[in-house]
Amino acid sequence: MFVKLLELACPRRPVILHIRGRDTYSCGVSALALRLMRENVSPTQKIHLHCFAGTLDQVLGWSAAFPRCYFSLSGLAARFDEVQKSAVRGIPADRLLVETDSPYLRVRVRETNTPAYVGEVAMAVARIRRVTLEEVLRTTAENGRRLYNL
């Protein structure tokens, strides 16, 4: 089914993937998705890895295979372990996005998630990357406009 859907890929529009597996970093399913993407999609295809929570090896693999691959971080970033934080620091600045995935993947565990919390996601990402909040907000806004031709 995934391969059939990839036949609809269009260079002007990003392929959006939410990769989730049974293990913490979704390594197996990410490797499978990357292999299928390499076999069925042009390396110039824009890709949006929605709710990315993987490893630095995944960042490097996807970036090498698809130079126009963007990594979007959700509220889960506030609870990432050191493996995931290393991946966040390894995402090229021009391929970084933030999101809330509202109403899921909350920054604040006990509260209903809304798009209003995107600033808190950006703050978590800024802390992990050791940069300013303003830098994350500016960079991710530019990246979103570029990815979606806005």
pLDDT tens digit sequence for 5-41: 888 888 889 999 999 888 888 899 999 999 999 999 9
* CA nearest to 94, candidates 142, 43, 45, 148: 142
Q: What is the pLDDT of residue 15?
A: 94
Bridge partner residues of 15 (DSSP): 47
* CA nearest to 73, candidates 57, 54, 56, 86: 54
Average pLDDT, the chain: 92
- Mean of pLDDT values over 49-66: 97
- Domains, the chain, with CATH or none: 11-147 (3.20.20.140)
Q: Where does the pLDDT of residue 137 fall: very low under 50, low under 70, confident under 90, or very high at 90 and above?
A: very high
Bridge partner residues of 16 (DSSP): 48
Quick count: other Cβ atoms within 10 Å of Cβ 122? Answer: 23
Q: Where does the pLDDT of residue 61 fall: very low under 50, low under 70, confident under 90, or very high at 90 and above?
A: very high
Strand extents, DSSP E, 7-62: 15-17, 47-49
